Amino acid sequence: MKNRIVAIDTLRGFALLGILLMNMASFAMPSMAYYNPTVYGGDDIWNRMVFSFSYIFADQKMMGLFSMLFGASVMLVTTNMEKKGQNPLWFHYIRNFWLLIIGLIHATFIWEGDILMIYAACSFVLYWFRKMSPKWQLGIGLFVFFIPALLNLGITAVSPTFTAEDTAYIETSWQPSADDIANELALYRGNYGDWIDDSWESSGATLAAELIDLSFMVEFFARAFGMMLVGMAFYSWGILTAKKSPDFYKKMAWIGFGIGLPMAILSLSLYSINGWDALYSTFNGRIPNHIATPFVASGYIALIMLWSKSSLAVNLQNRFAAVGRMALTNYIGQSLIGTTIFYGFGFGLFGYLDRVQQLGIIGLIWVFQLLFSTWWLNRFQYGPLEWVWRILSHRRWQPLQKKQAAQVVH
């Protein structure tokens, strides 16, 4: 059982570090540059290659992995409590209520791109699916996951009825003007309070604005909840706990990457073929990569499980597992580091570094978290925020210091 838990932790650490490939763009550049490489961040071949690599291998896939692991953790925690004769209902809701509060604080005062609130909100419904057959969990999970694709197809179908105001809103949102870019640069390089006020402003009252907001909100929740259900099924089948044979994982990797990577490449190619057109890119353009996500995520799971079952680079594997065990601390830590580097309350480098230069920052944060997480867990039982979350969830004091300082991460 110990090795299987380490396998989950290693996968979680991999996903957490991988998420930074995408989140760094949000820390460092105007918001639409996350989706549209023609907006900002360097339009030469090297910067386009960085965008393409991140889009194909990380965009949505790492969040998909993280969501699957969240679903698996719900199964793990509730099942272990039931084995001890305890009812997990109230503990689950108290635990995720505090996750919601942590996410709210994160989104309000550190970085508006928080995902913890969405995870916590999903968990309140997810609890009631844990006893369902894994086949049903997988089927319902995939159905929910693909709802955004159907919604975007529907919005595109009614797009001929858009007014000139709607069309203009979509175009200016997708391709902000030089003045809009300048205003965003000044905002994030400037006063901290101004950024907090701006992050909660409404996007507008046009039909197009409401449909864009609806599309992204449905996508965030459906992606998260759908992959959580898939994660529950994968946990029950032993896929996430390294119980399957090497041949199983090799076949899983071939299928996952064999379908997912070409689909992600096709998605990126279609953006270029359509000239990064605003209407296409905002709605239908997101569908192929959406389809690719569960396949690529499954390929990553297979590779990490194979690694966990091997003796290859065990020390590095332990460091990834340490990052995974401190996922909450490291996730918030990435936001603190990123915003301190780029926002006005810190060094104010927002908009100054292109995508290639951002890779250097990503690499330094990876190295720091791999080293720090291992150092910390060799001395303490939990990560700092994990410890606080545990106290709040259990409603009693939890010891932090390890009784035996020489104990290893495993």
- Place 197 in a pLDDT band, splitting at 50, 70 and 90: low
- Place 201 in a pLDDT band, splitting at 50, 70 and 90: low
Question: What is the C-alpha separation between 287 and 181, in angstroms, rounded?
Answer: 27
Quick one: which of 44, 62, 42 has its CA closest to 54?
A: 62
More confident residue, 132 or 203: 132
Q: What is the pLDDT of residue 405?
A: 39
- Place 215 in a pLDDT band, splitting at 50, 70 and 90: confident
Reported pTM: 0.92
Residue % of the chain over a pLDDT of 90: 83
12 pLDDT above the threshold of 60: yes
1 pLDDT above the threshold of 80: no
Residues 108-113, mean pLDDT to the nearest whole number: 92
Tell me: the pLDDT tens digits for 180-195?
999 999 999 987 556 5
- Place 200 in a pLDDT band, splitting at 50, 70 and 90: very low
Q: What is the pLDDT of residue 190?
A: 87
Query: In whole angstroms, what separates CA 149 from the centre of its chain?
Result: 19
408 pLDDT above the threshold of 60: no
* Contacts of residue 368, Cβ cutoff 8 Å, sequence gap at least 6: 337
Question: What is the C-alpha separation between 74 and 92, in angstroms, rounded?
Answer: 8
Element (H, E) at 334: helix 327-342
Considering only 16-30, 200-214, 313-327, which range has the smallest mean pLDDT?
200-214
Question: What is the C-alpha separation between 75 and 2, in angstroms, rounded?
Answer: 17
82 pLDDT above the threshold of 80: yes
| Mean pLDDT computed over every residue of the chain | 92
Q: What is the pLDDT of residue 194?
A: 61
Q: Identity (one letter) of the amino acid at 54?
A: S
More confident residue, 356 or 401: 356
2 pLDDT above the threshold of 80: no
- Place 13 in a pLDDT band, splitting at 50, 70 and 90: very high
Tell me: the pLDDT tens digits for 223-245?
999 999 999 999 999 999 999 99
Contact 226, 220 (CB under 8 A): no
Q: What is the pLDDT of residue 313?
A: 93
Tell me: the pLDDT tens digits for 33-81?
999 999 998 889 999 999 999 999 999 999 999 999 999 999 999 999 9
For helices 355-377 and 45-57, the axis angle rounded to 10 degrees is: 40
- Place 410 in a pLDDT band, splitting at 50, 70 and 90: very low
336 burial via Cβ count (<10 Å: 0-12, 13-18, 19+): middle
- Place 4 in a pLDDT band, splitting at 50, 70 and 90: very low
Quick one: which of 7, 1, 2, 3 has its CA closest to 240?
A: 7
Quick one: which of 265, 159, 275, 145 has its CA closest to 212?
A: 159
Element (H, E) at 57: helix 45-57
Q: What is the pLDDT of residue 162?
A: 87
Q: How far is CA 154 from CA 215, 216, 258, 284, in A?
A: 10, 14, 29, 9
83 pLDDT above the threshold of 80: yes
Residues 251-279, mean pLDDT to the nearest whole number: 96
Cα dihedral 76, 78, 81, 87, rounded to 10, equals: 180
Tell me: the pLDDT tens digits for 286-328?
999 999 999 999 999 999 999 999 989 999 999 999 999 999 9
Q: Identity (one letter) of the amino acid at 116?
A: L
